[in-house]
Structure 1
Amino acid sequence: MEEDKVLHFTTFYGQSVEIPFEQLPGQSRSIHEFDKLDRVGEGTYGIVYRAKDKVKNEIVAIKKIRMEREKDGAPISGIREIRILMSVRHENVVQLLDVVVGRSLESIFLVMEYCEQDLASLLDNMQSSFSEAQIKCIMIQLFRGLQHLHKSFIVHRDLKVSNLLLTDKGCLKIADFGLARRCSVPAQPMTPQVVTLWYRAPELLLQSKIQTTAIDMWAAGCILGELFLHKPLFPGRTEIHQLELIIDLLGTPNDQIWDGFSDLPILKNFSLKRQPYNNIKHVFTWLSAAGQRVLNFLFMYDPTRRATAEEALQSSYFKENPLPCEPEMMPSFPQHRIRRGKDIK
């Protein structure tokens, strides 16, 4: 906790500093050096704007951090997101450019690279699905970003299509690290109420407090299925309904396929729906055997057996026809860019 109250960052002038969070306002640029243009979205812990950097004359994204304070007064959630973003540099993770401040500690803004569109808005507005070559291109970039995060012991904990951005050059960026945490070995207990319901792994739905990078990989499987079907794979209304949808596709888990399954405490209170079959090949009938294996590997019930990002990248599915297209060959969809709100004066 003490480490979370100290912020390490490089100022606009290139000076590397390590300071207590409450001293931040005197050490960074002012929000008045940016012109807010319009609101483009809302993350887990903040509102996102499109803005113009008046000093550098470039368009950026600015996220105003919600400074929710813990009992001791420290805005821990905001600090964690800043520290995680500052420690990550990868082409498939949205880049934090600067930390700027308003008039007080209550006004902290993250300045990030601007991306023209997000995957959710594209799926909502596209009349036809991405081609399989395009889907492979998207997923390879997602797995590369996750591989980098997981090697850095960072678990995102809220992967979904609305948190995946695309540039006009076809580069995918993982965004919104408001729920991200550093994980440890062995894993330490964390709250299970994370990850948007439709992308939530079964161990979270069954209230396991141990979270690993495997929850990101389950969410990646949900994203892959959504790209194939052009609709959410598991659009549950409640946690019980979510589990039922998962069981309909994958069958009911047991101790043979999920070590320690019957020891999960919540199972003492209710019984899961009985369905003995895996139906992936019946739902994704057009998909090659290698593609079906990727989905099955991402959807392993036992998180210790679930595919890692590195293993997913090595799948033969990405080496067979149709081959993944190059990012620069991805369509830019200018007609489906992030919808703008009213200009902010």
Structure 2
Amino acid sequence: MENRAGYTLLHLDQPEELAAYARSRGWLLPAESVCALGRAGEGNMNLTLRVQTEERSFILKQARPWVEKYPDIPAPKERVLVEAAFYQAVASCPLVAERMPGCLGWDEENFVAAFADLGETADCTDLYNDGEAAFAPLPGLCQWLAALHQATFDEPTRARLENRAMRQLNHEHLYCFPLRPDNGLDLDAITPGLAQAAQALQDDAAYCSAIDELGALYLENGTCLLHGDFYPGSWVCAGGDVWIIDPEFCFFGPPEFDVGILVGHLLLAGRPLELAQSAFAHYGTDPSLSRSLVLQFAGMEIMRRLIGVAQLPLAADLPRKEALLTTSRELVLGR
């Protein structure tokens, strides 16, 4: 281990030091020893490690002052403490908590949280290229979102989960960076010809104005607790069930945002709009949910995933991406 940025950083190649740290926190019992240590999943935002003993395993997640996958992008280290606070908040909501791993504790000084290990899992990102028309977990995912959005919380909880710094980081990458012509991202290196397709949206004043309005709404405090990043990378399959992880982007905002992200990824995965819109029926009959706003957020998510930094494992050629960007424009502008 080393001390950097004012706190201790965990390292995959220092198992003895990590074991001593976990033991000091009470996450590793005195008689236990670490048999194996490895990465748990991709860990886009954080260092996420699986600690294996002879009898059990658990997960350690540490937030560093940068994005794990993109170390040149600064990120608020407090995000993992907000995530732990989310777990605390929903513990009294059985329909929400039962589909998430247990939180074993957290370390405010070193920005670490410990979670129960779901075991051998796979996220749902194969959805993008599986060639199927349906998506069996969709009803359960929508019902989980509805339960989360309907839950009520006291003012101290709302204050703890405002998550302003993470919202500002996300706002830049959802609503601003992708539509900035001079952002320095080489889209043609991703898909030849994609830069020209992006420029068509960047030059569309009506589209950019609508995205700005969505961004302003995203930054406002709203009524519902949101997951904040409800896409296939946050859904994992284990033991025949789908579990929800990584609520570090959570905040109180418009429920249409979460539902819109879900719908956007169904469309990115090649599912028909009719299937994507069936999310409304699975979500329930909330009369206050604006379907048009959901579709606008879905259009935004399609755009930022195709021409922004956070690219997906999407096997799509230029014509397919151009068609998706056209869909984004139609959804955002309500056409």
TM-score grouping bracket, smaller chain normalisation: 0.3 to 0.5
Query: Which structure shows the bigger proportion of residues in helix conformation?
Result: 2
TM, length-normalised to structure 2: 0.45
Q: Which has the higher contact order (CA 8 A, sep 6+)?
A: 1
| TM-score normalised by structure 1 residue count | 0.44
